Amino acid sequence: MEHNERGFTLWFTGLSGSGKTTVSEIVERELRERGRRVEVLDGDIVRTNLSKGLGFSKEDRDTNILRIGFVAELLTRNGVSVIVSAISPYKEARDQVRRRIIDFVEVHVHCPLEVCAERDVKGLYKKAFDGEIERFTGVSDPYEPPEAPDVVLDTDQEEPEESARKVVEKLEFFGYLQPTVSEVRERHRATSNLSQ
């Protein structure tokens, strides 16, 4: 493993059920295969420990994001590849974290609300529409989409592997990851006249 690897925080933001956890797991696997040290901070898990007891008011949601950002920064500056998947609905809190972490890559996991609700991975949308959950993002609480994300995934139109590939390619483009030999050869083949 290289010793001068630069850490980064890959931050997935999007509605519940948009695909943050699904894509982040694929990217995590890919990073580990490339020998990176990876830590994942998933909103659902963070809320059972680091942010235990916090609710879903704007203040608590912002506190949750700033705590995740604080830990992400500590890890990032120590060369770790950090993956955060958290709804992170408020732009200002995300931007605050982004300002603090130089090596920050923002991924908007975009999926129309209707599709997220149709997927209803955790059965929460039904409850939210039935009024059994207050302050549910996208239904009865705001989601402010990022204005200039580094990557946009359209998970209603892509397979999870395709979405993950877009993320990995962006990390390569920024120089955080080296393209693999097979990727370089693949690109060469695609652009080379020899292949025609």
Ligand X SMILES: Nc1ncnc2c1ncn2[C@@H]1O[C@H](COP(=O)(O)OP(=O)(O)O)[C@@H](O)[C@H]1O
112: contact with ligand X by CB under 6 A: no
Query: Per-residue x/- mask for ligand X, residues 69 to 108, rule CB under 6 A?
Result: ----------------x-----------------------
* Residues carrying an active site annotation: 88
Q: Which does 22 bind (CB under 5 to 8 A by kind): ligand X, Mg ion, none?
A: ligand X
Nearest to 9 by CA among 40, 30, 33, 32: 40
Q: Could you tell me the smallest distance in angstroms from the CB atom of residue 44 to Mg ion?
A: 5
Stretch that binds ligand X, among 18-26, 29-37, 66-74, 124-132 (CB under 6 A): 18-26
Position among 9, 13, 18, 76 found at the interface with ligand X (CB under 6 A): 18
Position among 7, 9, 10, 17 found at the interface with ligand X (CB under 6 A): 17
Closer residue to ligand X (CB): 44 or 186: 44
What are the angstrom distances between the C-alpha of 135 and each of 68, 116, 171? 21, 16, 34
Q: Which helix (H) or strand (E) holds 174?
A: helix 160-174
Position among 23, 40, 105, 168 found at the interface with ligand X (CB under 6 A): 23
158: contact with ligand X by CB under 6 A: yes
What are the angstrom distances between the C-alpha of 171 and each of 16, 54, 156, 188? 24, 32, 22, 19
What are the angstrom distances between the C-alpha of 16 and each of 50, 88, 91, 99, 156? 20, 10, 16, 25, 13
43-48 long-range Cβ contacts below 8 angstroms, 24+ apart: 43/68, 43/84, 43/85, 43/86, 43/87, 43/88, 46/86
- Which residue number has the CB closest to ligand X? 19
Stretch that binds ligand X, among 27-35, 56-64, 157-165, 173-181 (CB under 6 A): 157-165
159: contact with ligand X by CB under 6 A: yes
- HSE-up (13 A, CA, CB side) for residue 67: 17
19: contact with ligand X by CB under 6 A: yes
Position among 20, 61, 108, 110 found at the interface with ligand X (CB under 6 A): 20
Nearby residues of 52 by Cβ (< 8 Å), 6 or more positions away? none
| DSSP structure class, residue 147 | S
Give me 123's structure tokens. 């059965």
Residues that bind ligand X (CB under 6 A): 14, 16-23, 85, 109, 119, 121, 155, 158-160, 163
